[in-house]
Amino acid sequence: MRVAILFTDGVGIGPRDPATNPLTRRPWLLSQFPDGGTPLPHGGSRHDVDTTFGVEGRPQSASNQTAIFTGQPAPRLLGRHVLGYPNAPLKVLLAAHSIVRTVTEAGRSATFANAYPAGYLDALELRRRPSEGVDVQIPARFLRRLKPSASTLAMAAGGVALRTLDDARNGEGLTHDVDGSTAARRKLVVPARNALEAATIFWKLSADFTLFEHYLADEAGHAQDLEAAERALETFDGFARAVIEHRPADCQVLICSDHGNVEDLSTRGHTQNPVAVLSFGEGKLPAMQTVADVGNAALALLGLAA
């Protein structure tokens, strides 16, 4: 069996309050609530998991994404939540326990569908695929501010070369926004894609383990921007539905998030709400209690249980 994870940042399970929760406005796959939610197509199942790990404070991206991509209870191990990008202890955890490393060391293939400007990857000293140009030049004064994400570090630990915008232009990678609109607004030359086109590319490049990362819902939550939230959720939903519709029989698709945020626009901060893990395919998932178990479930489905 193969596994594909569609990861979307900052989408939790919140109350059905149209005044604060944009997920009430459409029957998106991620429109899940404590009392139910959008019915899942193609026999999909929902699994609610904790995001706090019993650690005081609001869940944060660096520690919870590290938990997902290692299968380890990162916030509990550190005794705190870490925001933004992985710090030194989280980098050590990712290097040692990345689920991507487990996959590739077992002789299986792994890939990251997201494409980045080559200049950005070079500035972070991350391994990448060939590119005719760099697309962006990072000024020297900004180099010290750049930090790699948990997802890119997980891939680096597994020896996976990251995709560049040349790959996106050649139909071998996807921009983080799926449709290319955000990248285009940033003056990056990328093709516009609809949901079906993006899903077709996703499955064309898929491996034994395939990851796609989408973070615009979290950005909209921090900005308390309802319009941006609806746009991000709508775009991701169209892509996710097309991926599921065209899912190969030998692949399990997991849709997950790291913590809540966009489901409560009354605050700029993350929430302590659980998140819904949505599963599509014939594989049987092990019991899941926290977001770390998403990574453990992926390994179990691949026959590489931690």
Confirm whether pTM is higher than 0.85.
yes
pLDDT tens by residue, 38-60: 999 999 999 999 999 999 999 99
pLDDT band at residue 137 under the 50/70/90 scheme: confident
Specify the pLDDT at position 306.
61
Q: Distance between CA atoms of 291 and 274, rounded to whole angstroms?
A: 9
Specify the pLDDT at position 159.
98
Rounded to whole angstroms, what are the CA distances from 102 to 57, 208, 259?
31, 12, 24
pLDDT above 70: percentage of residues in the chain: 100
pLDDT tens by residue, 115-132: 999 999 999 999 999 999
pLDDT tens by residue, 163-202: 999 999 999 999 999 999 988 888 888 999 999 999 999 9
**SS (HEC) of the chain:** CEEEEEEECCCCCCCCCCCCCHHHCCCCCCCEECCEECCCCCCCEEEEEECCCCCCCCCCHHHHHHHHHHCCCHHHHHCCCCCCCCCHHHHHHHHHHCHHHHHHHCCCCEEECEEECHHHHHHCCCCECCCCCCCCCCCHHHHHHCCCCHHHHHHHHCCCCEEEHHHHHCCCCECCCCCCHHHHHCCCCCCCCCHHHHHHHHHHHCCCEEEEEECHHHHHHHHCCHHHHHHHHHHHHHHHHHHHHCCCCCEEEEEECCCECCCCCCCCCCECCCEEEEEECCCCCCCCCECHHHHHHHHHHCCCCC
Specify the CATH number of the domain 2-301.
3.40.720.10
Specify the pLDDT at position 59.
98
pLDDT tens by residue, 218-231: 999 999 999 999 99
Query: What residue segments make up the domains of the chain, in order of their start?
Result: 2-301
